[in-house]
Structure 1
Amino acid sequence: MKLYTNCQSCKKDIVIKSSAQTRPDLQMEKGEELTVNCLNCGKVEKKHVNDIKAKSNSFILLLGLVIGTIMTSILWFFYGAIASIVFAIPLVFWQQQMKATKSFNSYMIRRK
């Protein structure tokens, strides 16, 4: 899951470096207001935690696809067609990413 916000002046995405899985975790880690710097236009802005959004990380999904393909090819040699069940690995990665993204974006912090 990648965390990002939009710059008000140039409308480009600003990536937030954090390992927080929920908005309260992000609030505890970074505070209620974050100071972000746009790498495109150089503007420094303060953003509330509710202004941060999440989207799924395509690298994790690609990693799940590669692992599933490798495991299927190895297991196919030993077990035959039953090894095609391992193709469920990318689906598990995708489902986890979508669930984490939805839970982050749906929960909001009360503004003071």
Structure 2
Amino acid sequence: MKIKSDVSTRPELQMEKGDEFTINCQKCGKIAKIHVNDVKAEINKVIIIIGLVLGIVTTVFLWNYFGAIGTVSAIIPILFWQQQMRSVRSFNSYTIRRK
């Protein structure tokens, strides 16, 4: 089940949704009650694709003006991926004390 939220930390999710909240399964239609600690973050693939496109465009642009040194901008998708991995790891590693 997916939860759409723009929060970056588990306490922010707790403040937004509460300790426990209900969610409706899109596949079976079952309504389940989920604790905030049961939510796991995943990498946002859209951000990775944006980084990839941005890296390709800047590499091509800089290659035309600066030559081979422009290939350094190919590191942009790697930076986007690393940022996503750090965010997911920090969200998933922190848990709220259950009451």
Verify same fold: TM over 0.5.
yes
The AA in structure 1 aligned to 2:43 is S
Q: Which residue of 1 aligns with 2:74?
A: 87
Q: Choose the corresponding residue for 1:70, options 57, 70, 80.
A: 57
- Runs of 4+ in structure 1 deviating by more than 4 angstroms, as ranges, are none
User: For the residues of structure 1 that align with 2:6 and 2:49, how far apart are their CA atoms?
Assistant: 19
Unaligned stretches of 5+ residues in structure 1: 1-13
How far off its partner does 1:88 sit? 1.0
Unaligned stretches of 5+ residues in structure 2: none
* SS of corresponding position for 1:74: helix
TM-score w.r.t. the length of structure 2 is 0.97
How far off its partner does 1:63 sit? 1.2
Q: How many residues align?
A: 99
Q: Aligned residues: percent identity?
A: 56
Q: Which has the higher strand share?
A: 1
Q: Which has the higher helix share?
A: 2
User: For the residues of structure 2 that align with 1:57 and 1:18, how far apart are their CA atoms?
Assistant: 12
How far off its partner does 1:17 sit? 1.1
